[in-house]
Chains A and B, each alone.
Chain A
Amino acid sequence: MARAGRRRFGFGRSVGVRFAAVYALVFGLSSAGLATFLWWDTVGLLQRQVESAINVDARSLAARFQAGGLPLLIATINRRIALNVDDSAIYLVVDPSYQPVAGNLRGWPKVVARLGVWYQVPVKRAQIVSLAEMRGYQLPLGFRLLIGRDVEARARLRALVAGGLLWAVLVMVVLGIAGALAIRGLLQRALANVSRTANAIAGGDLSHRVALSGRGDEFDLLAETINDMLDRMSRLMDGVRQVSNAIAHDLRTPITRARARLEDALSHAEGDAALRAAIERATEDLDAINAIFQALLRISEIEAGARRAAFAAVELRPLLADLHELFTAAAEERGLALDLLQEDPAEAPTLLGDRELLQQALANLLDNALKFSPPGGRITLSVRRQGTMVEITVADQGPGIPPAERFRATERFYRAESARHTPGSGLGLSLVQAVAQLHGGSLRLEDNEPGLAATLALPAREPRPAPPAPLPAALPASAA
């Protein structure tokens, strides 16, 4: 099925053929228009001239008949025939019983059955046959008048023009088909390139790219766009592969551990209490695995961007104060100092974002700082405006992350070798990064000499021109 469908692409259903058909149609129509005009302007013009001359002649003869009766009409016609130097005129007047009265025809021609209609009739002069255009007119008293003109010259011209146009139309048909084929070929060549790549990729060769012609035309632009898309797709797929590898690898350890504990308890536990303790520990291990899954799902959810719909104005000052308060106790417990620095506490920056996510991201940074700092260290949480961005930095004096490792630190499950013995699963910085990107910002990891300075740069909500807040009348002044 699919094969057959693909085969047909080349012929019946190709865009190239449709383009070609449109081209041929437009070409044919304009050619037909030109031919019509040519015809109208040559043969048609001559014919109109003859017909109007005959009509004028008929009117003047009718006027003669009115003025001088039959004798004057006959005299006029005889005179016209006598003076007809180019020998092209045909006149005939018949009485009500069709008996010829004047003119140069023997009798009323049978073919001229109706008056007021143009006829083309062959006539013979001195053995030479030619074509004449004629028309019958009604005269008073039942007389009838026939006037004609030789149009042999016109007939020859018409044959000539018709022949010429016929040839021209044939040539146009050929040119139209040739042009249509050329267009089709052009399009097909250009598209075959793309389709080859698509086929290769469909067949599993993800490294295939669309070849550029180097002309920089629209097809090259298309090819570049497709190649960019393919690059991005393969990067994303690498990412997915890496994450799933990491998940498989990192979850195996706790699962194996839980299993080993349960097995151990099964074979060695003595008494209910030991068994119960083993089961409890295994449950904790499984809870940890569950937590990892939840964290992964949460990061994916943030990366998907669905939460952007729920963005609201977030005041940073109370947020940071809360975090400071929350972590101060834990810091003191580990012999660390936690400082909150605000450049200008009066002008509290405001962001557009998700308060809960921002809080969690900063908590992750603070948690790392606490976790990796040696006792006696100092941790600072600071905020400042940098152009249109607000930068929140958590700086510690711990071991830091070596520069070569920093770009990997935000990958899922990354943990430095030295972090082996601290609790954690390597998802904290991934979440911070996802939150930063969700808000249109970024996470920077820098050297604090010594230690790590993790900076969350987020776009600030333009500060409103702060109105001089009037004190609510109901509140006592001291409450403000």
Chain B
Amino acid sequence: MTRVPLALAMLAATLAFAAAAGSVGRAAGGGGADPLAVTSDTTHYCHSLAAKVVAARPPGGATTAADALAAAGRRLCRQGDVLGGILRLRHALLLELHPADP
């Protein structure tokens, strides 16, 4: 007789805990809304990034690794793998700007 409310109480505590765990992110917005589109994932951005890599090329010439990454990035962007291309171009840029610490 006492066990039933006891079990119920523990179940309620469990559910409350689960609910709390689910809503830790305080103001969870955009439940049903369309996700925000990020503009740094487009072919256009890929090309502008490739231009940046060229512009950042140090006068003495970049490392071969940076050049190779940049070339691969450009090729991937052309072939449609935009995220892969952007990733390589970013690495190339990083190598050019901070050669000591890639």
The answer on a CB contact under 8 Å between B35 and A124 is yes
Q: Which of B15-67 contact A (CB under 8 A)?
A: 17-18, 21-22, 24-30, 33, 35-41, 45, 49, 52
Picked from B11, B37, B87, the residue with its CB within 8 Å of the CB of A87 is B87
| Interface size class of chain A, counting residues whose CB lies under 8 Å from the partner chain | 35 or more
The answer on a CB contact under 8 Å between B17 and A32 is yes
The minimal Cβ–Cβ distance linking B17 to chain A, given in whole angstroms, is 6
Picked from B22, B27, B94, the residue with its CB within 8 Å of the CB of A117 is B27
The answer on a CB contact under 8 Å between A169 and B17 is yes
The minimal Cβ–Cβ distance linking A428 to chain B, given in whole angstroms, is 62
CA of A165 to CA of B35, assembled, Å? 29
| B2 within 8 Å of A (CB atoms) | yes
Sample of 16 further A-B pairs with CB below 8 A, known A105-B37, A162-B22? A11-B2, A21-B6, A32-B17, A35-B17, A82-B93, A84-B40, A103-B39, A104-B40, A119-B27, A120-B28, A123-B36, A126-B41, A158-B24, A170-B14, A173-B10, A173-B11
The answer on a CB contact under 8 Å between A110 and B33 is yes
| A323 within 8 Å of B (CB atoms) | no
Q: Which of A103-122 contact B (CB under 8 A)?
A: 103-106, 109-112, 117-122
CA of A39 to CA of B24, assembled, Å? 10
| B68 within 8 Å of A (CB atoms) | no
| A383 within 8 Å of B (CB atoms) | no
Main secondary structure on B side of the interface with A: helix
Chain B hits for A126, CB < 8 A: 41, 82-83
Q: A118-B27, A124-B37, A124-B38 are in contact. Are A82 and B14 (CB under 8 A)?
A: no
CA of A161 to CA of B52, assembled, Å? 42
Chain A hits for B24, CB < 8 A: 39, 43-44, 47, 158
| B100 within 8 Å of A (CB atoms) | no
Chain A hits for B33, CB < 8 A: 110-111, 122
Chain A hits for B30, CB < 8 A: 109, 111, 119, 121-122
The minimal Cβ–Cβ distance linking B57 to chain A, given in whole angstroms, is 14
The answer on a CB contact under 8 Å between B7 and A85 is no
Chain A hits for B18, CB < 8 A: 162, 166, 169
Question: Which residue of chain B has the shortest Cβ distance to A123 in the bound complex?
Answer: B36
The answer on a CB contact under 8 Å between A121 and B41 is no
Question: Which residue of chain B has the shortest Cβ distance to A89 in the bound complex?
Answer: B40
CA of A464 to CA of B90, assembled, Å? 107
Question: Which residue of chain A has the shortest Cβ distance to B82 in the bound complex?
Answer: A126
Q: A158-B24, A162-B21 are in contact. Are A87 and B39 (CB under 8 A)?
A: no
Picked from B3, B93, B94, the residue with its CB within 8 Å of the CB of A17 is B3
Picked from B36, B45, B87, the residue with its CB within 8 Å of the CB of A109 is B36
The answer on a CB contact under 8 Å between A11 and B10 is no
Interface string of A115-149 (1 = CB under 8 A from B): 00111111111100100110000000000000000
| B97 within 8 Å of A (CB atoms) | yes
Chain A hits for B41, CB < 8 A: 125-126
The answer on a CB contact under 8 Å between A125 and B10 is no
Question: Which residue of chain A has the shortest Cβ distance to B97 in the bound complex?
Answer: A83
Question: Which residue of chain A has the shortest Cβ distance to B86 in the bound complex?
Answer: A87
